[in-house]
Amino acid sequence: MDLIDTHCHLTERPLCESLAAVLDRAARAGVTRIVVPAYDPPSWPLVQALAAANPGTIYPALGLHPWVADQRLDLGDLANRLRDCRAVAIGEVGLDTRIESPDLLVQIPALEQQLELARDLGLPVILHCRGAFAELADVLERFSPRLQGVLHAFSRSPELARRFLRLGLHLGIGGSVTRPRARNTRATANTLPLERLLLETDAPSIGLEGIPPEAVEPRHVRDVAETVAHLRGVEPDRIADATTRNAAQLFGL
Ligand SMILES: [Zn+2]
């Protein structure tokens, strides 16, 4: 089984403390490639260095996350770094109303600037969204159909999923799908067109059933693939093949 973790923060603890072992366990589970998004200017060089040290395994994405959208965004610096490290995406970027600040008046312009850059550079985007799906869809409408990307850690209903599928996005399904009570995530994972499905862990942020977030590693993408396969009533290999092809195509891996 050949799998890609399309969203993992390997620069974060505890993953960064035992990276070689984490990557070894991932490879033994069939997870051979990992997209690592940075989220603010200090994390950009860390992700760049990690990718440079692990060519063919770790693929970088750089962006300014909505949580820190009030930080100064130097688009020229971002563009240079994206080129220098041959980043596979701009991200993670997006909108989030479940935080105290910055508010959407600050988040939306930062997102729009980065979407414009993605369009100019021909890069896909990795999108984070909590609580602002309508606002995100409105912003994306203005960039459709020329913008490609993934709405990561999607855990909402098939109805909401359809709005983003119509905009041409992929949806990233992660560890929450392994929880029996995650009805929406499971319904979406079950009904989403296979060619729009990506798998991810978002480690170390999201747990799996019986596994706390801080214990999650890229190798757990295999559990996500097996759960999705079970829900869809197909062999895990079929999910692995399709999602790996999708990720390789979207990110140009
Ligand atoms: Zn993330």
pLDDT higher than threshold 90 for residue 180:
yes
**Residue 37 Cα, ligand 1 centroid: separation in angstroms?**
7
Per residue in 224-233, pLDDT (tens digit) is: 999 999 999 9
Q: Look at the block and give the residue holding tokens 């895990």.
A: 236
Task: Give the burial string for 75-103 (b: 16+ CB within 10 Å, else e).
Answer: eeebbebbeebebbbbbbbbbbeeeeebe
**Residue 202 Cα, ligand 1 centroid: separation in angstroms?**
5
Q: What is the pLDDT of residue 45?
A: 97
**Residue 158 Cα, ligand 1 centroid: separation in angstroms?**
22
Per residue in 141-168, pLDDT (tens digit) is: 999 888 999 999 999 999 999 999 999 9
Q: Residues 118, 67: contact at Cβ < 8 Å?
A: no
Domains along the chain? 3-251 (3.20.20.140)
**Residue 213 Cα, ligand 1 centroid: separation in angstroms?**
12
Percent of the chain with pLDDT over 70: 100
Q: Residues 90, 39: contact at Cβ < 8 Å?
A: no
**Residue 149 Cα, ligand 1 centroid: separation in angstroms?**
14
**Residue 19 Cα, ligand 1 centroid: separation in angstroms?**
18
**Residue 166 Cα, ligand 1 centroid: separation in angstroms?**
23
Q: How high does pLDDT run on average in the chain?
A: 96
Question: What number of other Cβ atoms are within 10 A of residue 135's Cβ?
Answer: 16
Q: Residues 243, 225: contact at Cβ < 8 Å?
A: yes
Please compute the mean of the pLDDT values over residues 115-141 and round it to a whole number. 96
Query: Per the confidence metrics, is the pTM higher than 0.75?
Result: yes
**Residue 44 Cα, ligand 1 centroid: separation in angstroms?**
14
